[in-house]
């Protein structure tokens, strides 16, 4: 797969792995605007109640919260849930007036089923429609994942399917890759293996360290995660038979947003 440099706006948010070619041209109307009009022509639905699961500071959580402040955004952040009572992101969520919950994995020992049933109870109690993992450092079992199939998404700091797992930035540098980036994907039982919703990439600099590369990729994450949640909440993207299906016109053009190099 040849990565494309830059980040797609709503006009081109669909991952390049799903749409291999674009006829790029400047237009007076962006696809983002056209998609918005397409959506308003549909039957209006209530905003999707979304839970964000975190284990730490929750920087992607903050990006989702900020995006959801737009009255036109189709999802509301209804719950921030952490497996760690000391997660810094909980305080930020409370300051924003968002409900929070803690399901401490340590209290459940090695009983993953007990932990996940407690998670499920919290999500059901808050009437959650969609779940976003944002630095949630627990592997989820097939039991939980299948209950949220098609409604559970994650962001990964690499261009999947390459560099699954942890320490992606150091591993990218060690591998000598020319491009690196981030991917939003549906969650399936196999780790970091779900179909891609959206991705963004940038060039790796000779001067990059793992820290500088992580910071640059994080900026991309903060852009594409709200975008992917918007697509899901608007029902523009679905997981069908293990693949992404997009309900937008694929021949429309829009402007490309590229990160600074």
Active-site residue set = 156
What phi and psi values does residue 243 have, to the nearest 5 degrees?
-130, 160
**How far, in Å, CA of 44 to CA of 50, rounded?**
18
The strand pairing partners of 240, in sequence order, are 243
Helix axes 59-68 and 210-233, enclosed angle (nearest 10): 40
Peptide bond connecting 161 to the previous residue in cis, omega within 30 degrees of 0: yes
259 touches 202 (CB < 8 A): yes
Q: Which residues of 86-125 are buried (b: 16+ CB within 10 A; e: fewer)?
A: ebebbebbeebebebbbbebeebeeebeebbebbbebbee
152 touches 186 (CB < 8 A): yes
Tokens 């929750």 found at = 58
53 touches 81 (CB < 8 A): yes
Give the angle 114-157-249 at the CA atoms, nearest 5°: 100
Three-state DSSP class for residue 24 = coil
195 touches 239 (CB < 8 A): yes
Three-state DSSP class for residue 205 = coil
């Amino acid at each position: 797969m040849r990565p494309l440099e830059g980040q797609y706006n709503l006009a081109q948010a669909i991952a390049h792995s799903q749409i291999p070619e674009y006829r790029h041209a400047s237009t007076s109307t962006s696809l983002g605007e056209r998609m918005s009009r397409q959506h308003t022509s549909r039957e209006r639905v209530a905003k999707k109640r979304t839970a964000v699961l975190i284990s730490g500071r929750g920087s992607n959580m903050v990006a989702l919260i900020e995006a959801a402040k737009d009255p036109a955004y189709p999802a509301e952040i209804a719950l921030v849930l952490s497996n760690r009572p000391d997660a810094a992101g909980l305080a930020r969520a409370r300051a924003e007036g968002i409900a929070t919950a803690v399901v401490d994995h340590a209290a459940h020992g090695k009983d993953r089923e007990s932990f996940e049933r407690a998670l499920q109870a919290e999500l059901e109690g808050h009437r959650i429609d969609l779940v976003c993992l944002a630095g949630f450092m627990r592997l989820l079992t097939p039991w939980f994942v299948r209950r949220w199939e098609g409604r559970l998404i994650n962001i990964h700091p690499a261009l999947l399917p390459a560099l699954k797992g942890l320490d992606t930035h150091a591993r990218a540098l060690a591998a000598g890759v020319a491009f690196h980036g981030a991917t939003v994907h549906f969650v399936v039982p196999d780790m970091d293996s779900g179909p891609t919703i959206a991705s963004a990439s940038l060039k790796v600099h000779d001067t990059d360290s793992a820290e500088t590369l992580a910071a640059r990729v994080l900026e991309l994450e903060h852009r594409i995660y709200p975008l992917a949640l918007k697509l899901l909440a608007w029902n523009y993207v679905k997981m069908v038979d293990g693949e992404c299906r997009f309900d937008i016109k694929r021949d429309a053009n829009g402007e490309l947003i590229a990160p600074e190099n």
